[in-house]
Copies of this chain bind each other. A is one copy, B any other.
Amino acid sequence: MKLATYHDGSRDGQLLVVSRDLGTAHYATGIAHKLQQVLDDWGFLAPQLQDLSVQLNQGRARHAFPFDPQRCMAPLPRAYQWAAGAAYPAGAASAGHPATEPGVFQGASDALLGPCDDVVLPSEALGIDFGASIAVVTGDVPRGVSPEQALGAIRLVMLANEISLRQRMPHERAQGTGFVQSKPATAFSPVAVTLEELGEAWDQGRVHLPLQTLWNGRKVGLCEAGQGMAFHFGQLIAHLARTRPLGAGTVVGSGPVSNPGVQDAQGRTDWPRGYHCIADKRAMETLHNGQPHTGFLQFGDTVRIEMKGKNGQSLFGAIDQAIAAPQGL
């Protein structure tokens, strides 16, 4: 099934079931008002949502209406935990992480952005970067879980735009206390989907489909999300759960998707499938030319992130958002 959350003026919004083709939706009222409730009591509530999903997909749901991603909050508008790794160590944005560890950091989960929400930041000088990623939502995870066991705790999959403030990161990295100012709110796709919606594309903790990123309407990345993922989601979750259990509704991100470079006939490394964060692009440029020339995001820039299934249909809907200055600035 596919789940979304509409803005309704409240902090947690209103839970919807969305049809497989993202064409129609139905309020989950009567089952649950908000997604956290479902995650807290998955075994009891998910089957009821699943029944509604079947009715909706068969055109039999009684109060279905057209689904509008513009009205979406993040599927989980605020979470009790958000952590992200650097699961694609081939990407330059992961530079500095030993490839033996998934570089998981604890992020801010008090406000997760909807797919069409502006990314409001005080200054372009912060080095604003997008980060097209995959994210999962877990149920309860016991302490010390193995990577394989951890896969069984994954409830939902989403896309994420992990915003980084690259000019602030070296300072925070040097302090050794993690990213507080350099990782503002992360945005999520209109819908979160269960694993069965991914079918064979979900295999051993990875989503084996290409992720597409557009920057100001221009396609800049079409990497395979499965191929370069050195640490699968079970490994990310197990890393996080090594010394403590994780509560239901923990959101875990992969870090920006990237594929390893390939050598062309002249022996030069190239990245034909592009990039999913500007830091990677700048690292490619530095390798080729000794310095980066692509600048970070400017106010007014747009970022669109989407993943299509083998049938060409959008699986999660698109993250499609603009970078904006605070009002009144």
Q: Which residue of B lies closest to A126 (CB)?
A: B243
Q: Is A288 interfacial (CB 8 A cutoff)? A: no
Shortest Cβ gap from A167 to chain B (Å)? 11
Q: Is A106 interfacial (CB 8 A cutoff)? A: yes
Contact status B111-A245, CB under 8 Å: yes
Cβ contacts A239-269/B at 8 Å (1 or 0 each):
1101111111110000000000000000000
Cβ contacts A271-312/B at 8 Å (1 or 0 each):
000000000000000000000000000000000000000000
Select A78's contact among B103, B239, B247, beta carbons within 8 Å: B247
Q: Is A228 interfacial (CB 8 A cutoff)? A: no
Q: Is A44 interfacial (CB 8 A cutoff)? A: no
Specify which of A109, A122, A168, A245 lies most central, judged by the most chain B CB atoms within 10 Å of its CB. Answer: A109
**Is the interface on chain A under 10, 10 to 19, 20 to 34, or 35 or more residues?**
35 or more
Measured in the bound complex, the distance between the Cα atoms of B87 and A245 in whole Å is 28
Specify which of A83, A96, A168, A244 lies most central, judged by the most chain B CB atoms within 10 Å of its CB. Answer: A244
Q: Is A81 interfacial (CB 8 A cutoff)? A: yes
Task: Tell me whether chain A's interface is mostly helix, strand or loop, or mixed.
Answer: loop
Which residues of chain B come closer than 8 Å to A178, judged between CB atoms? 105-106, 176-179
Measured in the bound complex, the distance between the Cα atoms of B144 and A326 in whole Å is 10
Contact status A244-B108, CB under 8 Å: yes
Shortest Cβ gap from A329 to chain B (Å)? 10
Copies in the complex: 2
Specify which of A108, A120, A177 lies most central, judged by the most chain B CB atoms within 10 Å of its CB. Answer: A177
Shortest Cβ gap from A151 to chain B (Å)? 19
Q: Which residue of B lies closest to A184 (CB)?
A: B244
Q: Is A74 interfacial (CB 8 A cutoff)? A: no
Contact status B243-A165, CB under 8 Å: yes
Contact status A80-B80, CB under 8 Å: yes
Contact status A175-B78, CB under 8 Å: no
Contact status A174-B175, CB under 8 Å: no
Which residues of chain B come closer than 8 Å to A68, judged between CB atoms? none
For window 41-99 of chain A, which residues contact chain B by CB distance below 8 Å? 78-81, 83, 96-98
Beyond A122-B144, A326-B143, is A106–B180 a contact (Cβ under 8 Å)?
A: yes
Q: Is A157 interfacial (CB 8 A cutoff)? A: no
Q: Is A107 interfacial (CB 8 A cutoff)? A: yes
Which residues of chain B come closer than 8 Å to A108, judged between CB atoms? 81, 106, 244
Contact status A106-B104, CB under 8 Å: no
Q: Is A270 interfacial (CB 8 A cutoff)? A: no
Measured in the bound complex, the distance between the Cα atoms of B180 and A326 in whole Å is 32
Contact status A181-B110, CB under 8 Å: no
Which residues of chain B come closer than 8 Å to A98, judged between CB atoms? 175
Q: Is A21 interfacial (CB 8 A cutoff)? A: no
Beyond A174-B176, A178-B179, is A244–B111 a contact (Cβ under 8 Å)?
A: yes
5 contacts between A and B (CB under 8 A): A79-B80, A98-B175, A111-B245, A172-B176, A185-B244
The 5 A-B pairs of least Cβ separation, nearest first, read A178-B178, A110-B247, A173-B176, A80-B110, A81-B110
